[in-house]
Amino acid sequence: MLIGLGVRDVVLVEHLDLAFGPGLTALTGETGAGKSIILDALGLATGRRAEAGLVRRAAGQASAAAIFAPGAGHAAWALLEERGLSFAPDEDLVLRRTLSADGRSRAFVNDQPATVAALRDVAALLLEVHGQHETVGLLDAATHRPLLDAFGQLGPETAACAEAWSRSRAAREAALRLGDAASRSAEERAELTLRLAELDRLDPREGEEAELAGERALLGAAEKTVADIAFAADALGAGPLVQRLGQALRALERARDRALAAGGAPGSREVGVIAGAIEATERALSELTEAEAAVDAAAQAFDFEPGRLEKAEERLFALRAMARKLAIPVDALPAARAEMAQRLVAIEGGEEALAAATAEAAKASAAYAAAASALSAARKAVGDRLAAAVEAEFAPLRLEKARFRVAIEPLAQDRAGPSGADRVQFEIATNPGAPFGPLGAIASGGELSRLALALKVALAGRSAGAPVMIFDEVDQGVGGAVADAIGQRLRRLAEQAQVLVVTHSPQIAARADSHWRVIKAGEGAGVRTQVEVLTGAAREEEIARMLSGAEITEAARAAARALMNA
């Protein structure tokens, strides 16, 4: 709801503060009194195009502030949040703009600097203007589909379509992601298959590099090692050494026997010393035999098969070459082999996931197509009803020759969206046999205002449009019964929304909840536009003036009372 308008130094207005109430407010006054200045000031405040000529002479700057009271949850609050503008939903919303004499302007939302575009976008959610030269909102075909859906109460159908679209888009994006991954995986799979085959053939073992390196070093030194072992074998296996130990052992045994035979006791010192010598000689002979066996074993251990060194070197070089190719340590080859095998399994699983996602995307797309088709069919049926409702208002508004239709055409597949797959546009043909066309291109100024009124009346109670509607001289070129019909319809609209009408018609002014008269006061360069709030007798006198002209008669006053009481 628009609750106030403050105007400073706009054309002939020096200082003006207006307070608006609910229902229908009529602005009347003599031609040239400045009724359009009020609308120009409101346009300045709401971001419409402004020229330096709006600045009052001798003033350096013009300003206008429109004060709105949107309800809680109004879309304007969400837009302010989107634009980064602070607000309190329980407070008023003030749109203000200043215009300097050099044509530069500044915009403010709740006293926060903003762009003129932001001002205009917020105002578009709060205000509609239907006039002789423009119809803000209604000419924008983007508003036609929401208006049609609101008229047909297609909330469930549009919600189902939006939900189906959301699911279809999510499924499509999931399939695309998996498809991209699959494209990358195809190359990766080929690389993994090749590398895994190489690793399978190589069959690396953990710790094999160190083992092979040690074996290679050992084999490289094997020739000298074998020679040293052979020398040791020759030295240990020399016959004289074994013979002398044997001879020494037998000589000691004979010596012990002789000592015992001569009467020596077995435990005597002399016999014990000989026995110790025998034991030591026996140990030496035994150790020598073991040493010979150990040296023989060592010799056998170094009895390598021919070509073993070459095989060890080839294996070691092959492992190190694969490690360089994969840019990893040789010891990491077994783990890399296992990881590659796992990745191949994952890629094969990804192909299954892609197939499932593709099937799901197709299913979701079909569901969206069905929901969009159902919504389209519902819109066509509602479009016929809306056209009939609008045309039913034409005759009383002197548009009896006009025809109205709701054109619904399919959108290109790539332009379909959560709101469906339809392009909706309101079209009119103003004369029999004339082709249909867009509202702004076909209808004249007066026709467009009355058409907007007819459409708004047909949509009354069902449209979630702006709560403030302004009609500028919607009665242009009509009078009598047609003006009365316009007044009735404006009154009906005012039951659903706040309506402001600039009018020359007494039939319309008489139906207003509030009546303002715009006048000029002063002389010469001191002429100023002022606004008077009319009630009671003053209002009756203004309506009588509108009925009779310069000379107000008693008959005109009586007619004015009759209109006001109708």
The residue with tokens 């020398």 is 231
Of 547 and 214, the one with more pLDDT: 547
Q: Tell me which amino acid residue 208 is.
A: E
Asked if residue 132 has pLDDT above 70, the reply is no
Are the C-beta atoms of residues 284 and 245 closer than 8 Å to each other?
Answer: yes
Q: What is the pLDDT of residue 136?
A: 56
Q: What is the pLDDT of residue 383?
A: 94
Q: What is the pLDDT of residue 30?
A: 84
- What order of strands is seen across the sheet that includes strand 514-521? 135-136, 127-130, 468-472, 498-502, 24-28, 514-521, 528-534
Q: What is the pLDDT of residue 464?
A: 55
Distance CA 215, CA 481 (A): 117
Of 312 and 561, the one with more pLDDT: 561
Are the C-beta atoms of residues 157 and 378 closer than 8 Å to each other?
Answer: yes
Residue-wise pLDDT tens digits, 478-511 = 778 888 888 888 998 888 889 999 988 999 999 9
Asked if residue 516 has pLDDT above 90, the reply is yes
Asked if residue 60 has pLDDT above 80, the reply is yes
- Residues whose CB is less than 8 angstroms from the CB of residue 553 and which lie 6 or more positions away in sequence, other chains included: 544
Considering only CA atoms, which of 241, 278, 274 is closest in space to residue 258? Answer: 274
Residues in the chain: 566
Provide the token pair at 331: 């010891």
Q: What is the pLDDT of residue 161?
A: 95
**Cβ neighbours, 10 Å, residue 392:** 13
DSSP string of 41-84? HHHHHTT----GGGBPTT-SEEEEEEEE-PPTT-HHHHHHHHTT
Q: How would residue 8 be classed by pLDDT, with cut points 50, 70 and 90?
A: very high
Residue-wise pLDDT tens digits, 258-278 = 777 777 677 777 778 878 888
**Cβ neighbours, 10 Å, residue 342:** 10
Asked if residue 387 has pLDDT above 70, the reply is yes
Q: What is the pLDDT of residue 307?
A: 61
Angle in degrees, CA 66, 27, 100, rounded to 5 = 40
Are the C-beta atoms of residues 514 and 28 closer than 8 Å to each other?
Answer: no
Distance CA 101, CA 104 (A): 7
Structural element, H or E, at residue 339: helix 333-392
Q: What is the pLDDT of residue 228?
A: 65
Task: For residue 115, give Cα distances in angstroms to 25, 49, 136, 416.
Answer: 30, 13, 19, 31
As a whole number, mean pLDDT of residues 453-470 equals 76
Provide the token pair at 433: 């046999």
Q: Tell me which amino acid residue 93 is.
A: L
As a whole number, mean pLDDT of residues 29-40 equals 83
Residue-wise pLDDT tens digits, 323-379 = 898 888 888 888 888 888 877 777 766 677 778 889 999 999 999 999 999 999 999
Considering only CA atoms, which of 242, 231, 239, 241 is closest in space to residue 299? Answer: 231
Structural element, H or E, at residue 405: strand 403-410
The residue with tokens 């939302």 is 109
Q: How would residue 227 be classed by pLDDT, with cut points 50, 70 and 90?
A: low
Q: Are strands 61-68 and 13-19 parallel, antiparallel or unpaired?
A: unpaired
Are the C-beta atoms of residues 143 and 422 closer than 8 Å to each other?
Answer: no
Burial of 385 (0-12, 13-18, 19+ CB in 10 A): middle
Distance CA 454, CA 430 (A): 14
Residue-wise pLDDT tens digits, 415-458 = 899 999 999 999 988 888 888 988 767 666 667 778 888 888 88
Distance CA 369, CA 363 (A): 10
Q: What is the pLDDT of residue 405?
A: 93
Asked if residue 289 has pLDDT above 60, the reply is yes
Output the pTM of the full model: 0.63
DSSP string of 140-182? -GGGHHHHHHHHTT-HHHHHHHHHHHHHHHHHHHHHHHHHHHH
Structural element, H or E, at residue 498: strand 498-502
Provide the token pair at 430: 């103003």
Residue-wise pLDDT tens digits, 169-208 = 999 988 887 777 666 666 677 778 888 888 888 888 888 8
Structural element, H or E, at residue 541: helix 536-548
**Cβ neighbours, 10 Å, residue 359:** 12
The residue with tokens 């058409």 is 451
HSE-CB of 319 using CA atoms within 13 angstroms:
23
Q: Tell me which amino acid residue 291 is.
A: A
Q: What is the pLDDT of residue 214?
A: 75
Burial of 300 (0-12, 13-18, 19+ CB in 10 A): exposed
Q: What is the pLDDT of residue 542?
A: 92
Distance CA 190, CA 197 (A): 11
Q: What is the pLDDT of residue 281?
A: 82
As a whole number, mean pLDDT of residues 74-100 equals 89
Angle in degrees, CA 337, 199, 335, rounded to 5 = 20
Of 232 and 422, the one with more pLDDT: 422
Q: 422 forms bridges with which residues in the sheet? A: 410
Are the C-beta atoms of residues 536 and 38 closer than 8 Å to each other?
Answer: no
Asked if residue 467 has pLDDT above 80, the reply is no
Asked if residue 304 has pLDDT above 60, the reply is no
Task: For residue 335, give Cα distances in angstroms to 185, 328, 341, 498.
Answer: 21, 10, 10, 77
Q: Which of 127-141, 284-298, 552-566 has the lowest mean pLDDT?
A: 127-141
HSE-CB of 555 using CA atoms within 13 angstroms:
4
